[in-house]
């Protein structure tokens, strides 16, 4: 009887449901619109800075609301908050295809910011963390990998529709909004349960759990966390990583088409390749982090991401220029994708490892605020410099420097002595 229960541990259904939700939310809010930027610029007659403001609005207000969402999550529980956010996102996605102006997109991206902090990464990480202890790294790696899988597959899925003159981006996004209702809203309201005790179970489906961290004994106090070097080095390091990741992701499709002279289909394929390797990085480094300290893994993935940015350039004795070499840019999507994916998943796992679960909603809320501001700044600054200078050379050099600052901050993260709190 026990073997049967272990074999069909309900936590796996919860993990699948949360993974489906996260597969759609990040991809449809950030990644799919970014691949549509060239088409939206054509339709609305906008430049890089104006069209990038859509995603900047989402990132800025998501960061601004994140600490408040963290308080709501700690007070009312992640599932109630998730269900509110998921419906808001579904309605907003449904309206996206009916936008008549770039101002409409700005308003919709503001609503998506609220939905994203209520139903995105933090609630899903907390729910899955409730269900798994021993294999938490692998499961959260799978969950976080799903957004990269969305970034890899959803733009490709709708690319034939988007590039069909008789259909276009509105029909493509409309298809995705229908899928969101079916595969994200339905799980949130049916089989996702907040914690094992709701069904009389324990984490991992075991009769006992040896890890004390899930009963709050291994958590640091909120005040200790706020005063720790670990929180601020993790926050600043993740802000620099997100500046680089989101800054590049938001502009790379435009760069592939305008400066590297790829066709729209080739640009989408390269964007998709980057996200396929991000998917691999998230899952692989999540699994590795179950065997070595998560802070060490974050340092490794930050270095990989930095090395990826170096492939965007050609180096002559007298000058640095943007590369147009297709082999080099293909290698960039592989290396940067691995670093992006691994760093993304490790930020959350390092927070769980260092601070414990007791105040995780608030702590992740603070970190999400800091790194969200980094992501918003990266998107807005890079697009504005490109609009002003006509080239991505300076924006991409800035990304390389900021990713180096990320490595320094991650290196300085020091674990907190929990018995001193």
pLDDT digits (tens, 9 = 90+) for 27-37: 999 889 989 99
Is the confidence at residue 311, as pLDDT, over 80? yes
Contact 58, 29 (CB under 8 A): yes
Gap between the Cα atoms of 370 and 353, Å rounded: 19
Residue with tokens 């670093």: 339
For residue 320, what are the β-bridge partners?
315
Write out the E strands in 304-361.
313-315, 320-322
Contact 25, 116 (CB under 8 A): yes
Query: Residues of 316-354 as b/e, b for ≥16 C-beta within 10 angstroms?
Result: eeeeeebbeeeeebeebbbbbbbbbbbbbbbbbbbbbbb
Gap between the Cα atoms of 221 and 226, Å rounded: 9
pLDDT digits (tens, 9 = 90+) for 116-147: 999 988 899 889 989 998 878 778 878 888 88
**Nearest alpha-carbon partner for 122 in 366, 409, 305, 415:** 366
- The pLDDT assigned to 137 comes to 73
Element (H, E) at 30: none
DSSP 97: T
Q: Residue 402: which pLDDT band, with cuts at 50, 70 and 90?
A: very high
Gap between the Cα atoms of 260 and 252, Å rounded: 10
Gap between the Cα atoms of 324 and 98, Å rounded: 36
Is the confidence at residue 11, as pLDDT, over 80? yes
Looking at domain 2-195+213-415, its CATH architecture is Up-down Bundle (1.20)
Gap between the Cα atoms of 259 and 255, Å rounded: 5
The dihedral through the CA atoms of 82, 88, 92, 94 has a sign that is positive
pLDDT digits (tens, 9 = 90+) for 181-238: 999 999 999 999 998 888 888 888 776 544 444 444 467 777 777 777 788 888 899 9
For residue 37, what are the β-bridge partners?
none
**Max avg pLDDT among 222-226, 287-291, 322-326, 417-421:** 322-326
At residue 313, the 3 state secondary structure works out as strand
Q: Residue 16: which pLDDT band, with cuts at 50, 70 and 90?
A: very high
Sequence spans of domains, the chain: 2-195+213-415
Contact 218, 356 (CB under 8 A): yes
- In sequence order, which residues have a C-beta less than 8 Å from that of residue 150 and are 6 or more positions away? 22, 23, 24, 26, 27, 28, 31, 275
Provide DSSP, 277-308.
Answer: HHHHHHHHHHHHTTTS-HHHHHHHHHHHHHHH
């Amino acid at each position: 009887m026990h073997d049967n229960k272990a074999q069909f541990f309900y936590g796996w259904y919860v993990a699948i449901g949360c993974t489906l939700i996260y597969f759609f939310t990040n991809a449809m809010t950030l990644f799919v619109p970014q691949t549509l930027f060239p088409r939206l610029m054509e339709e609305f007659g906008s430049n890089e800075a104006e069209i990038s403001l859509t995603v900047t609005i989402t990132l800025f207000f998501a960061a601004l609301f994140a600490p408040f969402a963290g308080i709501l999550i700690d007070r009312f529980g992640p599932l109630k908050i998730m269900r509110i956010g998921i419906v808001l996102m579904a309605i907003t996605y449904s309206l996206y295809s009916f936008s008549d102006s770039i101002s409409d997109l700005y308003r919709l991206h503001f609503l998506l910011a609220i939905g994203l902090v209520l139903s995105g990464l933090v609630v899903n990480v907390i729910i899955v963390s409730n269900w798994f202890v021993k294999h938490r790294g692998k499961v959260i790696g799978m969950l976080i990998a799903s957004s990269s899988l969305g970034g890899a597959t959803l733009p490709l899925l709708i690319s034939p529709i988007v590039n069909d003159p008789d259909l276009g981006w509105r029909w493509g996004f409309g298809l995705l909004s229908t899928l969101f209702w079916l595969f994200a809203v339905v799980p949130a309201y049916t089989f996702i349960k907040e914690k094992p005790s709701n069904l009389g179970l324990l984490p991992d489906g075991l009769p006992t759990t040896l890890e004390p961290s899930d009963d709050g004994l291994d958590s640091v106090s909120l005040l200790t966390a706020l005063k720790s070097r670990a929180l601020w080095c993790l926050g600043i390091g993740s802000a620099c990583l997100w500046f680089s990741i989101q800054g590049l992701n938001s502009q790379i499709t435009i760069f592939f088409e305008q400066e590297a002279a790829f066709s729209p289909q080739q640009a989408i394929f390269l964007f998709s390749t980057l996200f396929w390797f991000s998917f691999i990085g998230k899952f692989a480094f999540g699994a590795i982090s179950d065997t070595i300290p998560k802070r060490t893994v974050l340092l490794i993935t930050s270095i990989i991401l930095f090395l990826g940015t170096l492939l965007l350039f050609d180096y002559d004795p007298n000058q640095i220029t943007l590369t147009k070499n297709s082999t080099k840019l293909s290698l960039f999507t592989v290396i940067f994708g691995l670093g992006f994916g691994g760093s993304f998943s490790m930020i959350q796992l390092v927070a769980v490892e260092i601070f414990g679960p007791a105040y995780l909603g608030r702590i992740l809320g603070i970190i999400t605020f800091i790194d969200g501001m980094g992501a918003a700044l990266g998107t807005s600054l890079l697009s504005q410099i490109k609009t002003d200078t006509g080239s991505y050379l300076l924006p991409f050099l800035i990304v390389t420097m900021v990713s180096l600052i990320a490595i320094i901050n991650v290196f300085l993260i020091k674990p907190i002595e929990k018995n001193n709190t």
